[in-house]
Structure 1
């Protein structure tokens, strides 16, 4: 296994930080990882190592406003906003295809990265051979989705596109740790039952940033598109889709929103499966049972490719 740290250019010429993990043998498929909000691709080293062991080459970039792509502007997706982040994912997909012509391509999105993947697959599903959604918040009901979109628009008007909104941060994550507060005071126990992994997150200067007001507003618009039956109709019905989640993950509203996503995909006759991990929290790849999660992921990929 070898790891390279490189950059690629987005459509607008912006330098996007990229990591590539290459297995010791010729790869049988390529996995593109889209990380979540307030983190960076370096946290996926153990995931890449396990996939390398199984013969997969792994690519992953730091999104705009994250990690080494924008270390001085964490949380700010920039002028291109959410659409530019999706375009970057498409650029990386094309780069993978050019580097490994004919190799199957898998997109693995976690949390905000799952939201990206849910929108990407509606537009560019033909560029993928499999899709994995980890820690997805699912699809909110129409009425429940109005409030955050409205507040995000008001906060963008009040604070400006790159304004930090304490109100939005509280709306998104203020209640996430409620069920786990007794375990400690960090506020991030909802991420994992593994205290060491949670502490690494807290101590990481590139972790914890919430998107700025304008970026959140664009993200919510994208989520509405991804949940629309009209856009879901653009997903190839033969594309294998796998949804993984912890039952104790607070982002999916006690499974209600994840069930809505799964149901809507089934209604569209998509090829979708799911794997739930009892008592698992938000970051399954950093959970106490992460080895099982990764082994299950490899088994699923091997079975559909």
Structure 2
């Protein structure tokens, strides 16, 4: 595997995104596909090295970055878990920019988008705004139906209360900006507490990270990863942006905006609260089928929680599903090219 590290400016105008291009060795033959990896919340792309190595061995070019506020990008900027004032569109624009960079070297390879958890939300919005760029979409640890899991109504109600508290008196904020900062910090702390409580409600373990995986070592590695950030406090704006993106892609309008011939693979664990314990994956698949999408495959892994890539019960199955999906897309001959003009966006109607 040949690794190229590079950087490019974020759409927020503040950060430089750190990214990597992983190329197969020459003896594997001509590259077969371009695989864009979109990591999740509080993690970074190099956590996926076993997957990346497996893909390059199969002749697949992989491109990945560390999002604004995450991983090597945050380490360089010194700013963690903060969008930069430009909203969740920042992450979609940064991924589109990464696609264009990769396309300079590989203009004709079919592009497969892979997004895990929060990354699956970014990937869904990407294909909604630019439906013609991807040849396939993989949603891992899909975030769907949080209401049924008892999460988002609590978060929404508290976010509304927080918005009122923080915006009711602009004059007061001008007089005492420290009051606003304190209020925002308290709001984020309260929201994080609600999510942790709801996300672990079905488990017997007394561990706020129990929703991550059944494997205690996997939880520890996630929590203690020096380039991860699960123990860091996100900014109020970042929490708002994350929730806003979930609401946008979780609406019934999403299936109507996605290209109907786009192959989609949806994966989840049946013990994952972020996907309503597996039901969210089927719920999303059914919405897509109802709108006429005929290339949707759903795989829910028994006994697995959120990190299906690292759970012993699902790790091998996840990799097999990804390779099977990739082979199907490549064999179908779905190739796209990108013009010099910016990608076409479609706004929700």
Tell me the TM-score normalised to structure 1 length: 0.90
Q: Which runs of 5+ in 2 are unaligned?
A: 167-179, 331-349
| Partner in structure 2 of residue 227 of structure 1 | 250
Pairwise mapping of residues 238-257 of structure 1 onto structure 2 (< 5 A)? 238-257=261-280
Shift of 1:284: 1.1
1:111 aligns with 2:117: yes
Shift of 1:219: 2.2
Aligned pair in 2 of structure 1 residues 73, 259: CA closer, same or farther (>3 Å)?
A: same
| Partner in structure 1 of residue 169 of structure 2 | none
Aligned pair in 2 of structure 1 residues 44, 162: CA closer, same or farther (>3 Å)?
A: farther
Partners in 1 of 2:320 and 2:152 — Cα distance? 35
> Any conservation in 1 of the 2:88–2:244 contact (CA below 8 Å)?
no
| Partner in structure 2 of residue 136 of structure 1 | 142
Aligned pair in 2 of structure 1 residues 103, 49: CA closer, same or farther (>3 Å)?
A: same
Partners in 2 of 1:144 and 1:284 — Cα distance? 20
Q: SS of the residue aligned with 1:95?
A: helix
Higher deviation after alignment, 141-150 or 244-253 = 141-150
| Partner in structure 1 of residue 73 of structure 2 | 69
Aligned pair in 2 of structure 1 residues 253, 139: CA closer, same or farther (>3 Å)?
A: closer
| Partner in structure 2 of residue 202 of structure 1 | 223
> Any conservation in 2 of the 1:138–1:252 contact (CA below 8 Å)?
yes
Q: SS of the residue aligned with 2:8?
A: strand
| Partner in structure 1 of residue 4 of structure 2 | 4
Q: SS of the residue aligned with 2:199?
A: coil
Higher deviation after alignment, 189-198 or 238-247 = 189-198
Tell me the TM-score normalised to structure 2 length: 0.79
Partners in 1 of 2:248 and 2:23 — Cα distance? 34
Partners in 2 of 1:229 and 1:180 — Cα distance? 30
Higher deviation after alignment, 43-52 or 138-147 = 138-147
Partners in 2 of 1:215 and 1:139 — Cα distance? 21
State which structure, 1 or 2, has the greater radius of gyration over its C-alpha atoms: 2
> Any conservation in 2 of the 1:149–1:217 contact (CA below 8 Å)?
no
Shift of 1:267: 1.3
> Any conservation in 1 of the 2:146–2:273 contact (CA below 8 Å)?
no
Higher deviation after alignment, 3-12 or 292-301 = 3-12
| Partner in structure 2 of residue 277 of structure 1 | 301
Deviations 1:222-274 (A, max 9, x none): 22222334343221111000001111112122334333322211111122111
Pairwise mapping of residues 1-305 of structure 1 onto structure 2 (< 5 A)? 1-13=1-13, 14-24=15-25, 25=28, 26-71=30-75, 72-140=78-146, 145=152, 147-155=154-162, 158=166, 159=180, 163=185, 165-182=188-205, 186-205=207-226, 206-208=228-230, 209=232, 211-270=234-293, 271-289=295-313, 290-305=315-330
Partners in 2 of 1:190 and 1:41 — Cα distance? 20
Shift of 1:198: 2.1
> Any conservation in 2 of the 1:17–1:68 contact (CA below 8 Å)?
yes
> Any conservation in 1 of the 2:7–2:17 contact (CA below 8 Å)?
yes
Partners in 2 of 1:231 and 1:202 — Cα distance? 32
Aligned pair in 2 of structure 1 residues 144, 169: CA closer, same or farther (>3 Å)?
A: closer
> Any conservation in 2 of the 1:141–1:257 contact (CA below 8 Å)?
no
> Any conservation in 1 of the 2:68–2:74 contact (CA below 8 Å)?
yes
Higher deviation after alignment, 140-149 or 74-83 = 140-149
> Any conservation in 2 of the 1:163–1:214 contact (CA below 8 Å)?
no
Deviations 1:74-104 (A, max 9, x none): 2111111311111101111111222201111
> Any conservation in 2 of the 1:246–1:277 contact (CA below 8 Å)?
yes
Shift of 1:34: 0.8
| Partner in structure 1 of residue 344 of structure 2 | none
- How many residue pairs get matched? 303
Q: Which runs of 5+ in 1 are unaligned?
A: none
